[in-house]
Amino acid sequence: MGDYIVLAISCILINNILLAQFLGNCPFLGTSKKMETATGMAMAVVFVIVLAGIITWVTELYLLKPLDIEFLRTLSFILIVASLVQFVEMFLKKSIPALYTGLGIFLPLITTNCAVLGVCLINIKEEYSFLEMLVSSFSYSVGYGLALVLFAGIRERIILARVPKPLQDTSIGLVTAGMIAICFFAFKGMV
C-alpha cells in the first residue's frame, strides 16, 4: 500500500507530467485562460489517460512483446490513442449526453495531447504491474489537472497586474508556468 502512495505522490507532485516533464504544453497554455475551461479539460484528461493507459498496457503485454516488435510502440500507441478518443467521444454523445456536453470540445483536443502518449510510454518503460500502471496513469493525469487548474487561477488574476505590453498574454503565461515549475521542484526533497 505504502508503495502505491509513494508512487501516487511522486506522479502528482514530484514528476508532474506538465511541470517536471514538460509534456502537454499546448493545451496547457490554450485552455488555461478561464477556470471553467481548465476544470473541463482537467476532467477530460483524467478520463482519457486512464483509459489509454489500460489499453496500451494490454497491447504492449499481449501484442508487441510476444511478437517482438516493440520498435512499433510509439507508432501504434498514437493510432490507439487517436481512435480511442474518437470512440469515447461517440460513446459519450450517445450514452451519457450530460457528460458529453460537459467535456464537449475538450475531447477532440486531447487527441493531440502528448501527455497522454507520454504517460502510456512511461508506464511501459518503468515496467509497471497492472495496478501500478493504474495508479500512475490516474496520478499523472490528476497532476496534470492540478497544474492546469492552479495555472488558470493565476492567469485569471494576472489581469490585475500591470504587465508590460510585449510580455502580455502567452508570454507572461510561459514565465508564470516556469515559476510554478520551480516551485514544484521543491517537492523533489519529499521522497
Q: Is 95 in the site for another protein (CB under 8 A)?
A: yes
Does residue 107 contact residue 49 with C-beta atoms inside 8 Å?
no
Please state the φ and ψ torsions of residue 123, each to the nearest 5 degrees: -55, -40
Q: Is 72 in the site for another protein (CB under 8 A)?
A: yes
Which residue type, as a one-letter code, is found at position 177?
A
Q: Is 86 in the site for another protein (CB under 8 A)?
A: yes
Stretch in the footprint of another protein (CB under 8 A) among 20-28, 45-53, 86-94, 129-137: 86-94
Judged by CB under 8 A, the chain residues 150 through 189 that form the site for another protein are 156-157, 159-160, 162
The neighbour count for residue 111, using CB atoms within 10 Å, is 16
Q: What is the DSSP letter of 11?
A: I
Q: Which residue has the cell 484528461?
A: 45
Binding string to another protein for residues 111 to 150, with x set by CB under 8 A, is what? ----------------------------------------
Q: Is 1 in the site for another protein (CB under 8 A)?
A: no
Which of 126, 149, 124, 155 is CA-nearest to residue 46? 149
Q: What is the DSSP letter of 13?
A: I
Q: Is 26 in the site for another protein (CB under 8 A)?
A: no
68 grid coordinates: 517482438
Q: Is 98 in the site for another protein (CB under 8 A)?
A: no
Which residues are near another protein by CB under 8 A? 63-64, 67-69, 71-72, 75-76, 79-80, 83, 86-87, 90-91, 93-95, 105, 156-157, 159-160, 162
